[in-house]
Amino acid sequence: MISIQGLSKEFAVSGGNVAAIKGLDLEVAEGEFFVIVGASGSGKTTLLRCVAGLELPDKGTIRIAGQVVSSDNPPTSVPSQQRRLGMVFQSYAVWPHLTVYENVALPLAEGAQRVPRREVASRAREALRLVQLEEVADRSATLLSGGQQQRVALARAIAVNPRILLMDEPLSNLDARLREEVRGKIRELAKQLGATVLYVTHDQVEAMAMADRIALMQAGEFLQVGSPTELYRDPARVEVAEFFGLMNWLKGRVVQPGLAETPIGPLRFKGAAAPAGEVLLGFRPECVAILESASHAESNSFPAALRSSMFLGDQLVYHAAVGEQLFAGKCRTVAACSGGRLQLYIDPDDVMLFSAGKRVDQETAAARPSAAVRAAG
C-alpha cells in the first residue's frame, strides 16, 4: 500500500545542511498498522510529512497503492489533497467555533474530498458512532475532554473514507490513563475499517501495544524493522535493546559455543554462533528468576544479595548484587530470604549477545540498571 525507496531529505541550518532522512526504504502492506518510533529529532515526523505531501523529499520515490505520488526522477509531486489520506495530528486541531458534528461534517461538505450533500450527514454520524461520540454531536468541541477531542479528530479523518491514515504523535497530549484507553480504540477502529495506518510516536510502550510492525528510527535511519516481539526479544543491535526497555549488561568473552566467561562466572546463552573476542551479554529484568533455594541451583544460577525493592502494584522491582555486579529484576513477590540472600537464575534463551563496544559504555554497564530503575514500571 505504501512503498518508499531511497528517500532522503535535508534541511538547511546555520553552518550547513542536516540530513533528516537518509536513503530510507519501507514497505507497508495493505491493512497493516505500522508504527515508526524514535526519539525527538530522529526524522520520523519528517518521513510522515513526506508521505502526506507536506514536505518535498530531495531524493527517492513514494508510491501509494501503486501510484507514484513523489519522485525526483522524473520530478513528481502529487498534492496532499489528491493522495486520499486521512491525517491526525499531535494537536487536536478541532475548530473551536464549531460543534462536534460540524467539525466532522465540514471536510465532507467543503474539503478536497467532499461528497454529495445528501451523504454528508450519514457519513459524519457514522464516523462519530465509530468513535463513540454520537451522543455529544451537538456539543461545542472545546467543551470535550482531551481524549474526546482527539477522537473528534480521528472521526474527521475517517469520515472521508481514506485508504491510509497517517497519525503524528496523536496521544502525546493525553494523560497516561487516557493514552491507554484511546490507543486501544484507535487500533480496534483501524482493524474494523481495514485501514492502512502509518503511525509516529516516541513512546516505545505505545508502539508495542499498537503495531503489527515497528521501525525504530535514529538519526534519519532505521535501526531495525520487525514485529514488537522481535524488537523486544531479539534486537539486532544494542541501541534497539536499550530503547525498548531496561537491560542488565555484562562484559564477557566467548570460551566455547553457547558459553561465555563473565565477571560473575560462566554464563550460557542461546545459539552457538557468537562474535569473536569481547562480547556484551544482556538480559531483561523480568528474565531474572529467583530460585526457592540454592539446592535447586544449576548453570546460569548465582548467589546474590538483595539490595533494594520497590512495590509498584502489579509488580515488584528489586536490585540484587552478584559480587560487584548489580542487577535489576522484576517479579510478583520476592521470596522470603535469610539475611537478604537470593539465588538468581537466568535462562540461556533470555540472554542476548552483542559485539562489545558498539554503544554501551563498558565501564558503566554494570551500573546501568540502578540508574534506569527510577523509570521502572
Please tell me the distance from the alpha carbon of residue 280 to that of residue 132, in angstroms, as a whole number: 49
Of 75, 73, 58, 80, nearest in space to 12 by CA: 58
Preceding peptide of 74 cis, ω within 30°: yes
Q: Is the model more confident about 148 or about 44?
A: 44
Give the pLDDT of residue 15.
Answer: 81
Helix (H, G, I), strand (E, B) or coil at 349: helix
Q: At 317, which helix (H) or strand (E)? A: strand 316-322
Give the pLDDT of residue 369.
Answer: 39
Of 128, 70, 76, nearest in space to 102 by CA: 128
Q: How far is CA 173 from the centre of its chain?
A: 17
| DSSP annotation of 239 | H
Q: Are 332 and 312 in contact (CB under 8 A)?
A: no
Q: Is the model more confident about 347 or about 81?
A: 347
| DSSP annotation of 160 | T
Mean pLDDT, range 106-119, rounded to an integer: 81
Sign of CA dihedral 21, 237, 331, 350: positive
Number of H helices, E strands in the chain: 9, 21
Instruction: Give the number of other CB atoms < 10 A from CB of residue 58.
Output: 16
Q: How far is CA 62 from the centre of its chain?
A: 23
Q: Could you give the strand order of the β-sheet that contains 301-311, starting from the edge strand earlier in sequence?
A: 288-290, 341-346, 301-311, 316-322, 325-331
Residue 360 — pLDDT band, cuts 50, 70, 90?
Answer: very low
Residue 182 has pLDDT above 70, yes or no: yes
Q: Are 276 and 355 in contact (CB under 8 A)?
A: no
Beta bridge partners of 306: 320
Give the pLDDT of residue 372.
Answer: 31
Please tell me the distance from the alpha carbon of residue 165 to that of residue 95, in angstroms, as a whole number: 20
Instruction: Find the range with the poorest average confidence among 57-61, 114-118, 136-140, 323-327.
Output: 114-118
Residue 174 — pLDDT band, cuts 50, 70, 90?
Answer: confident
Of 290, 294, 341, 340, nearest in space to 316 by CA: 290
Question: Cell numbers of 30, please?
Answer: 495493505
Q: At 164, which helix (H) or strand (E)? A: strand 164-168
**Backbone dihedral region of 103: left (phi > 0), alpha (psi from -120 to 50 degrees) or beta?**
alpha
- Tally of CA atoms within 13 A in the half-sphere of 40 that contains its CB: 1
Instruction: Find the range with the poorest average confidence among 58-72, 166-180, 220-234.
Output: 166-180
DSSP assignment of 64-109 equals ETTEEEEEETTEEE--GGGS-EEEE-SS----TTSBHHHHHHHHHH
Q: Is the model more confident about 337 or about 213?
A: 213
To the nearest whole percent, how much of the chain has pLDDT over 90?
Answer: 55
Residue 295 has pLDDT above 90, yes or no: no
- E strands, 205-275, are 213-218, 221-226, 248-256, 259-262, 265-268
Q: How far is CA 212 from the centre of its chain?
A: 11
**Dihedral pair phi/psi, residue 126, rounded to 5°:** -65, -40
pTM of this structure = 0.84
In the block, which residue shows the cell 467543503? Answer: 110
